[in-house]
Amino acid sequence: MLLLALACTSPDEEAPPVEEASYEETVSAGKEALAEAGVSRLRWGMTAFVDPESAVERWQPLWDHVGDELGVTIELVPLEAYEGVEEAMRRGEVDGATFRPRAYVHAREAMPLQLVGTHVVGGSAEYSAYIIMLEDQSVRDVAGLPDLGGGPFGFVHPNSTSGFIYPAAMLQEAGVHPLEDVEARWYRSHAGVFDAVSRGAVLAGAVNSIELALSASDPSAPSMRIVAKSDRIPYSAYVLREGLPPAAVSAMAAAMNGVSTKSAEGRELLRALPGVNGFLPVEDGYYDPVRDAAEVLEAKGIDPDALELPSGG
Amino acid sequence: MGLRSRLIISVVGLATFILVAWSSLLAYNGLRQHRGNGEARAMDSLALLAVPAATDLAERRVEALDALLGSATERDESLLWVGVVDADGRVLAHSDTSRYGEVVTDAFTLEALEVGVAVSERTEVDGAPALLAALPVETRSDVGSIRWGTLVAAVSMAGVESTISGLRVNLAFASLLMLLVMAVSLWLLLSRQVIGPLASLNAAAQAIKDGDLSARVREADGAAIAELELLRGVFNEMARQVEGQTSILEGRVARRTAELEAANSELARINQRLSRAVARLADIAKTDGLTGLLNHRSFQEKLSLELQRCLRQEHPLSIVMIDVDHFKAYNDMHGHPAGDFVLKEVARIFRDNLREVDVVARYGGEEFAVVLLDTPKGAAGLVAEKLRLAVLEQDFPHAEESQPEGRMTISIGVSSFPDDGLSPAELIETADLALYEAKRRGRNRIMLAGELLSMYRTRT
């Protein structure tokens, strides 16, 4: 299988020329580069909202495979959602991590990072944010986003790309300030928002397409009405710290890209990761839509990092 | 060609060119674009189908893919069949369930698997136009992709081609309509600018040919092309000049005719006068100027004619030669006027006492000759006697003074045809001899040629 070598994502470094190289050549070059750098172990940070240990267990086979390909041991380090990943990278506690899109964009502004790729879910490397409300919600006549002003609105987290950044930008562009014109409530997970909307705790809420699909598949879930749908949002970014050889980045991208549900081996590696079908190499520009959405909010003085969640929200 | 005509023809020509070019381009692009749009729509539909197909393939939900493809063919009638094959061409799912597991080997699918991008090919399915299409079912990023399979489908283009056929008909109709409009426009333009003016020119030329030199080409409402307008001006000027020259010539001819008629009239008058003069001259040549009787020459001619007629008809004819007795003495004594008077008076007496048919002539001096037609000698003697008595009984001035018998008398000799001669000369000669004998015997008497030389001796 032919792979395109992944370019270096550091703006300070000149991107290496993209050239066709075989999988073996790419991986071998990365392996050698790591060996020369004396790297035999990579610590990989990953977020886990619930049950971190279970998450590590489910992801470990994939990283073991990648580590074998690169000739290193990859150790998974469970981290607190969002803020914890960037902080761990800054402290050097991890050599690489899985960043949520908004977290990646935020961290990328603070430190040099090398982007490896993203994962594919449901056959796609992108997803959407949805603003939903109960289908039979008759409290108010909601024709569109502008009619949501004044009501309680469910968000996931200030740093959640699909749970706040995108839906807040959508509200803002519709003339509804996401913090002032609605009563923002934070539920820390997409499932929590879906549940809040289902219970009628909020007039509407922001969830991503995966949660919507999963929740909607529950026969007991009430019918939801999609008030708005965002542009496509890139999935999480798989990132290595600065200082690791670029050849190692390309090799990791190739190794990950070689894992997909197309093959029996890939399906076995991903068996414990429902929804994940594989991985794709991407470049930093892939996350520009996230930056654009964030700018919409920043233009109105909304800084997700400055938002403090009420305890138990 | 005037600026206006140039402008009109240029505009019409340009409009025709633009319309023809535009319609041709429209027809070409319209059909091409419509077919292209139809194919693009088909490809877009398949691309939409490829998105959930990617999900199903990534999730290995083959049954869901079956349902997806099945519902797609049910939902879209133009989708004849659709399937998904893996990198080896093995059918993973298909709207035709009998093709599960089949390894596709057709050239189109193999090429599609090779190139890895969306491709299409026009073909026919059951004789109807169709589009074979293939596009990768994949997940892509800016620097990589995961190709889950390849979606291959046959889409009916019958509807598109039907629309294209309809469009062709409409375009043909529009073209025909446009040509009709252009033809009518050009016809109106030509009628107004060329045919109308030419008809006027022809009518004027025809009228002039028929003699109406006052005919002119009327102005064509100012719409004729410049050349025809120029021709109209030249033609009218030519007609005006022809009319003027003809008028001048006709005037000259009329004057010449009048002059000729006057000359002819004068000539006729002269001829008439000349004829009269000639007649008079002829009369003068034939008659004696003093007495008005035939002269000697005419007498001879008349005698010959009459004698020939008498010879043919065997009719009698007599000649009477008469001489005025002692006329010379009378003339000498009383002068020529008196003598002339006697001669004229004697002649009158002769005319009065002879028939119209008889010929009386002054034979010379105081001698007269008479031809009596159809008159034998005996009757001629009686006529001669009648004449002698008439003269004798007429009172002539001075007759008593100069005439021996106191009266004017005449002596007469008579000869007759055929007794006394058969020719004029013989008859005249014998009459002269008889006259001479009458003179010799004492005058105032008649002598007949032959046995009766002295028949009559009348009273004095």
- pLDDT for B217 equals 85
CATH top-level class for B296-448? alpha beta
pLDDT tens string, chain B, 460 residues long: the values are 556 666 766 676 677 667 777 777 777 777 788 788 888 888 998 998 898 899 888 888 888 898 889 889 998 888 999 999 998 899 999 988 888 889 998 999 999 998 889 999 999 888 889 999 999 999 888 888 899 999 999 999 888 778 777 877 877 787 788 778 777 877 777 777 777 888 888 888 898 888 888 888 887 765 677 778 888 888 888 988 988 898 899 899 999 999 999 988 988 888 888 888 888 787 778 888 899 899 998 899 999 999 999 989 889 999 999 999 999 989 888 999 999 999 999 999 999 999 999 999 999 899 999 999 999 998 999 999 999 999 999 999 888 887 888 899 999 999 999 888 889 999 999 999 999 999 988 999 999 987 544 444 443 3
How confident is residue A28, by pLDDT bands cut at 50, 70 and 90? very high
C-alpha–C-alpha distance, residues B370 and B384, integer Å: 9
User: What is the ipTM metric for this complex?
Assistant: 0.77
Q: Are residues A134 and A202 in the same domain?
A: yes
Which three-class secondary structure state does DSSP give residue A151?
coil
In a shared domain, residues A120 and A140: no
Least CB–CB distance from B54: residue in A6, A118, A123: A123
Question: A15 and A118: one domain?
Answer: yes
* pLDDT of A19: 53
Tokens encoding A92: 């050097």
Q: Best interface-test mutation with B: which of A18, A127, A262 has the largest number of B CBs within 10 A?
A: A262
Sheet hosting strand A129-134, strand order edge to edge: A183-186, A152-155, A204-208, A129-134, A224-229
Residue A214 domain flag: yes
A118 and A161 part of one domain? no
Q: Which member of A261, A282, A285 has the closest CB to residue B58?
A: A261
Calculate how close chain B gets to A138, using CA atoms only, in Å: 33
The CATH number linked to A167 is 3.40.190.10
Alpha-carbon gap, residue A221 to B385, rounded angstroms: 189
Shortest CB distance from B143 goes to which of A122, A278, A282?
A282
pTM, two decimal places: 0.57
Same domain flag for A110 and A171: no
Q: Tell whether A113 and A143 lie within a shared domain.
A: no
Residue where a domain terminates, one of A211, A230, A249? A230
pLDDT tens profile A227-259: 999 988 999 999 999 999 999 999 999 999 999
A108 plus A250 within the same structural domain? yes
Question: What is the SS3 string spanning B10-71?
Answer: HHHHHHHHHHHHHHHHHHHHHHHHHHHHHHHHHHHHHHHHHHHHHHHHHCCCHHHHHHHHHH
| Residue A11 scores a pLDDT above 50 | no
Question: What residues of chain A, 96 to 135, have a C-beta less than 8 Å from chain B?
Answer: 117-118, 120, 122-125
Print the domain residue range for A194. 129-230
A120 lies in the same domain as A133: no
Tell me the pLDDT tens digit for each residue of A82-102. Answer: 678 899 999 999 999 999 888
**Residue A313 confidence (pLDDT) above 50:** no
A102 and A238 part of one domain: yes
Interchain proximity A260–B144, CB inside 8 Å: no
DSSP class of B295:
-
What number of C-beta contacts closer than 8 Å exist between A and B? Answer: 74
Residue A294 located in a structural domain: no
Q: What is the β-pairing status of strands A113-121 and A237-241? A: antiparallel
- Interval A101-135: pLDDT, tens: 888 999 999 999 999 999 998 888 888 999 999 88
In this prediction, residues A45-67 reach a mean pLDDT of 86
Which H or E element spans position B179? helix B158-190
Which residues of chain A neighbour B55 with C-beta distances below 8 Å?
122-124
Judge if A239 and A226 occupy the same domain: no
Question: What is the reported pLDDT for B51?
Answer: 87
Tens digit of each residue's pLDDT (9 = 90 or more) over A252-289:
999 999 999 989 999 999 989 878 999 999 999 999 99
Partners of B151 on chain A (C-beta within 8 Å) are: none
Domains in chain A, number: 2
Residue A292 counted as domain residue: no
CATH of span B3-156:
3.30.450.20
Q: Domain check: are A18 and A167 in the same one?
A: no
Q: Does A283 touch chain B (CB under 8 A)?
A: yes
Amino acid at B160: V
Of A123, A257, A285, the CB nearest to B144: A257
**Phi, psi dihedral angles at A15 (to 5 degrees):** -65, 135
- Amino acid A219: pLDDT: 81
Residue of B nearest to A258 (CA): B146
Residue A30 shares a structural domain with residue A157: no
Any idea where the domains of chain B sit in the sequence?
A: 3-156, 296-448
What backbone torsions phi and psi does residue B155 show, to the nearest 5 degrees? Answer: -115, 130
Contact B233, B204 (CB under 8 A): no
What is the rounded CA–CA span in Å between residue B345 and residue B325? 14
